[in-house]
A and B are shown apart, each in its own frame.
Chain A
């Protein structure tokens, strides 16, 4: 998952804060300022030790509660910590996987994926220990028992091959997004074409939202055979560009100064979408 909105202007300036103000607000008494500061620090990727410390503290916040018992500040702090790339956040985020608030668990799984620490593998697998029951709808809420998509995607990115037996049952789940998440993770864990092709087929689906999800999944796994199908998919060019960028980046290393025919092919497709 990503907070990147392809059609949003990059200049939509939120109320300007200084880093000092944001840290002060995060530790202040005004709950809405605290919530906003946590979001702001992640959004602008202010990765300073003092910021990370303050956000880690906010993972244990008790002051900010929703009527349903949620922890809004914890959610934003967990989301921000994924973007800041500081591994000190890992233990706190792993603790958040046990939080009673679904959205805190989801944010923690996503951030642990971004931080890439394999210490998270076993705690993430715990969330799927009930098997498909983890993906049962919670009555009256718009989500499953566990944030299965985020957990499965994280396990794929963390190369958790030991989780393959846990992930496989979700390949047939009736919720498409969850099915795609499992397919994507299985591709990452096995590099088997059998898990790349269904995501290419998903680009032909009826629902544009699901086509966008499939584009993002193909970009995340860098599945090169999908390049032409991505370029011709029925979706906004911005989503296709991001997916092709993912394919391209999987072919590149920072040191390389020559280009393969495959990278040139992908870039020509990107040029055509400008």
Chain B
């Protein structure tokens, strides 16, 4: 276990890094502590506009799992879509259902396409069993409704992400597969974009949707 003084020194190194490489190295060292104490700093790094450092921070946050969920939700950056996309990606991968409302809002209406796509994918993958049966049903219904809406978006990449979310939902949630199958059938008959069509085919053929 690394002691707190050492961790504070590492946090300071991140805050005071004066080169891109220095930042990346400091963030790496911070992640290596595997300490929950560094979570707020890792989240701050997502807004530094240094993709390499941000990717390392996201992996660190994912590694810390549930402990990172509330800080990620509370520290969500409303003014920086780059930072927000990293946070949503971390939340989507940790898959804690407490992120449901944030993912629903992000998938349905975020300004930035990268945020919407990450959220749509994440909505299919949440750990529903962590909720009570009643809560779980309500949460899954909301995820399904959101993804069905996104599957009608004007932008191909959002529709593509919705299919990926729906395919996962069909596999993880209970009692949704018929509605998802029907939607995929509809999409096949109306979808003009070849890439989106073929993603529906893949969901049908690989996962029986």
Residues on A lying within 8 angstroms of B by beta carbon are: 6-7, 9-10, 234, 236-238, 241, 245, 248-249, 252, 254, 257-259, 263-264, 267, 270-271, 274
Chain B positions within 8 Å of A248 at CB level: 194-195, 198
User: Which of B51, B52, B164 is the one whose CB lies under 8 Å from A274?
Assistant: B164
User: Which of B121, B155, B198, B201 is the one whose CB lies under 8 Å from A271?
Assistant: B121
Residues on B lying within 8 angstroms of A by beta carbon are: 51-52, 81, 111-114, 117-118, 120-121, 153-157, 160-161, 164, 194-195, 197-199, 201-202, 205-206
From DSSP, what is the main secondary structure of chain B's interface residues?
helix
The CA-CA distance from A159 to B14 in the complex, in Å, is 53
B160 x A270 contact (CB < 8 A):
yes
Q: List 13 A-B contacts (CB under 8 A).
A: A6-B113, A9-B111, A9-B113, A241-B157, A248-B195, A249-B195, A252-B194, A258-B201, A259-B198, A264-B202, A267-B198, A267-B202, A274-B160
B121 x A274 contact (CB < 8 A):
yes
A249 with B194, Cβ < 8 A, contacts A7-B113, A9-B112, A274-B117 known: yes
A7 x B51 contact (CB < 8 A):
no
The list of the 5 closest CB pairs from A to B, nearest first, reads: A274-B121, A274-B117, A252-B194, A245-B195, A10-B155
The CA-CA distance from A236 to B117 in the complex, in Å, is 13
Chain B residue nearest to A249 in the complex (CB): B194
Chain B positions within 8 Å of A237 at CB level: 114, 117
Chain B positions within 8 Å of A258 at CB level: 201, 205
User: Which of A10, A234, A238, A263 is the one whose CB lies under 8 Å from B198?
Assistant: A263
User: Which of A9, A257, A274 is the one whose CB lies under 8 Å from B161?
Assistant: A274
The CA-CA distance from A73 to B39 in the complex, in Å, is 53
| Known contacts A252-B195, A259-B202, A267-B199, then 17 further A-B pairs from the complex at CB < 8 Å, ordered by chain A residue | A9-B113, A10-B113, A10-B154, A10-B155, A237-B114, A238-B113, A248-B195, A249-B195, A252-B197, A252-B198, A259-B198, A263-B198, A264-B206, A267-B198, A270-B160, A271-B121, A274-B120
B205 x A259 contact (CB < 8 A):
yes
A259 x B201 contact (CB < 8 A):
yes
The CA-CA distance from A236 to B194 in the complex, in Å, is 23
A238 with B154, Cβ < 8 A, contacts A259-B201, A270-B160, A274-B120 known: no
The CA-CA distance from A263 to B157 in the complex, in Å, is 17
The CA-CA distance from A246 to B61 in the complex, in Å, is 33
Chain B residue nearest to A271 in the complex (CB): B164
A234 with B51, Cβ < 8 A, contacts A248-B195, A259-B202 known: yes
Chain B positions within 8 Å of A264 at CB level: 202, 206
B194 x A254 contact (CB < 8 A):
yes
Chain B residue nearest to A264 in the complex (CB): B202
- In the complex, how many angstroms separate the beta carbon of A208 from the nearest chain B beta carbon? 9
User: Which of B52, B111, B114 is the one whose CB lies under 8 Å from A238?
Assistant: B114
